[in-house]
Structure 1
Amino acid sequence: TAIGKYWVCKRQPVAVAEALECLGGNGYDEASGMPRLYREAPLNGIWEGSGNVNALDMLRALTREPESLEALS
């Protein structure tokens, strides 16, 4: 789950920016909720744990179960 959380937190700002662009002017309207998502997207990487902490989590799991490395390739 650490690798999934890391990936999602890194991709979310890009995905939200793309969604905002797709909605055009409607995306910038506060009533749509998109501006709030756009502002908060970068914060999820901080609140959900930094990339380094998630990487250490993954390394610890791989140390305990080295055979799980095959699932990543």
Structure 2
Amino acid sequence: MMAMTGKVESLKQGWLDQPNGRSQGDLLITEPFKCRIAPHPFIQFIHQVQLAASGAELSVASLLSEETTGFGLLLR
């Protein structure tokens, strides 16, 4: 299967690694626990994206993984 899709996968990964935006502030998560118990810019960003994309009036999001690092000033 990889022989058939390897080139496409490589191109896809290269595309995903390209910057696609800039942040006005730091969205990095250095302490996942603190991100869960207090407002955090990364979670606020997720809420804003969900609200804008869906047209909803309410957004619910939470940090599910300890490995999530958020975004720096350059979004990828």
Normalised by the length of structure 2, the TM-score is 0.25
- Which protein is richer in strand relative to its size? 2
Normalised by the length of structure 1, the TM-score is 0.25
- Which protein is richer in helix relative to its size? 1
